[in-house]
Structure 1
Amino acid sequence: MSKQHSFSDRPALDTALAAHIAERLAADIASRGKASLAVSGGSTPQGMFAALSRQHLPWDQVWITLVDERWVDADSPDSNEKLVRENLLQNAAAEAHFIGLKGNAADAAAGLQEVTARLDELPLPLSCAVLGMGGDGHTASWFPQASNLQQLIDPRGEALLGCCDPVTAPHQRITFTLPAILAAGEIILHITGEEKRAILAEASEKRYPIAAITEQQSNPASIWWAP
């Protein structure tokens, strides 16, 4: 059963979740000398990123990457890297190491090997993976209509990353796979609003991709929510 944390408003959620993630990172730094965090894009985490950026940590011992990325330039408004650089890699967290998931190849499939090689310096398993969820029940870049969805969410898969053509959304993507997320020290699902809470409640019945996280018991995710 997933542990649920509910808050009265988004600022309270942002503050509490940022403190919780900082504690997780600090624990890994204490135990293995370094820590790693994979974060998601969208509008939901921006306030949490700002709060996390001010947490007191030895940030030079933290590696940050993305759960998934659109195959767009890093200065594009659609880039998750841009979002993270502008909101999280600020203040104290400017000292953290960042590894982006966008390469130089013409498309995501051609760039997959290059981007995967970059992650050789990422401390694995991840200390913490923070997932979001879309209105279609996708998380990471595991989209309901993607032709390779089952490959991306195969718990027996061996790949760290996969590429995805979401079909129902713009841009090709590169994404962590389900087994890579399940190996994390902690999985956090960060959502806001009544609509997304309702989507989450029917995820199993409607076989939304997010159910690959919420229905598994090998590493139960905690759910952090505010209206």
Structure 2
Amino acid sequence: MAISELNLPQGVTALEFKSPVLLAQSLALSVAQQLRAAIEAKGAATLVVSGGRSPVAFFQHLAKEALDWSKVVVSLADERWVPVEHADSNAGLLKRYLLQGAAAKAQFLSLYSASANLEAAAEQADRRLAELPPIDVLILGMGDDGHTASLFPGSPNLAEALDQNGVRRCWPMLAPTVPHQRLTMSRALLASATHKVLSISGQSKLTTLNAAVAGDNVAEMPIRAFLQPTLEIYWCP
């Protein structure tokens, strides 16, 4: 199966690359261009990214792009509720692979706080996100179950987090089969981004995307909430 064979919704575009390296390079070039345009237009830019292993090469290429990083705010679509020093921390991942060299001048807005419980941490993150400027570029990933950010099927709070008109920016989430409690930006906040990209690789993700396109139950596969006009999909085998 190729991504060109999918019956994507009108207005959703898909780009296919021969390798993860070519995808990462192209995505970094495009994102840097969009951030530069935002800085030129309004003096600042905001980038929201997803964690996990997949974006590492993209982060490394983006960190080398020439732009005024001091005018860029970076945040995470979701975070595991673990300290930054923990191997599974998305914030730690960013600090190791993106916020290096000139890119270290970017302002990082973290979702994690060492609160007594997950709900309190989510409330603190929600207050911090009130200070997040409008999102210029959002990079999403997707799991084989159709989750994106940490909007997991079957998780408590999912219905509220998927509310298109919700005012809360951050919700506590549980990954049904993956260790660690999570914090995630809400659908409403994520969907407010000017430029939205879904970056995936491998045939299993293409199969998942095909299933998502074929149905309309957002709670069953939360990625469906973002299969909307202007979404760009980057995929490689």
Pick one of 125, 149, 152 that aligns with 2:158: 149
Structure 1 stretches of 5 or more lacking a match?
none
Distance in 1 separating the partners of 2:129 and 2:70: 17
Choose from 41, 45, 50 the match for 2:55: 45
Cα offset, 1:107, TM superposition: 2.1
Work out which of the residue numbers 112, 116, 125 in structure 2 matches 1:102: 112
**Match 2:149 to one of 123, 131, 140:** 140
Give the drift of 1:11: 0.8
Aligned mate of 2:95, from 76, 85, 89: 85
Specify which of 194, 197, 203 is matched with residue 194 of structure 1.
203
Q: Is the 8 A contact 1:37 1:126 kept in 2?
A: yes
Q: Percent identity?
A: 38
Q: Residue in 1 aligned with 2:177?
A: 168
- Within 5 Å, give how 1:1-227 maps onto structure 2: 1=10, 2-123=12-133, 125-205=134-214, 207-214=220-227, 216-217=228-229, 220-227=230-237
Equivalent position amino acid for 1:64 in 2: V
Give TM-score scaled by structure 1 length: 0.94
Could you tell me which amino acid in structure 2 is paired with residue 7 of structure 1?
A: F
Q: TM-score by structure 2 length? A: 0.90
Q: CA deviation at 1:145?
A: 1.7
Count of residue pairs the alignment pairs up: 223
Letter in 1 for 2:138: A
Deviation at 1:170, TM superposition (A): 1.6
State the superposition RMSD in angstroms. 1.3
In structure 2, distance between residues paired with 1:53 and 1:116: 27
Shift of 1:118: 2.2
In structure 1, give the amino acid aligned to 2:224. A
Q: In structure 1, how many angstroms separate the alpha carbons of the residues matched to 2:59 and 2:41?
A: 24
Tell me how far apart the structure 1 counterparts of residues 125 and 157 of structure 2 sit (CA, whole Å).
19
Equivalent position amino acid for 1:210 in 2: I
1:165-190 deviation digits (Å, cap 9, x = unpaired) = 22322211111111111111111101
Rounded Cα–Cα distance in structure 1 between residues aligned with 2:203 and 2:122? 36
Question: Which blocks of at least 5 consecutive residues in structure 2 are unaligned?
Answer: 1-9
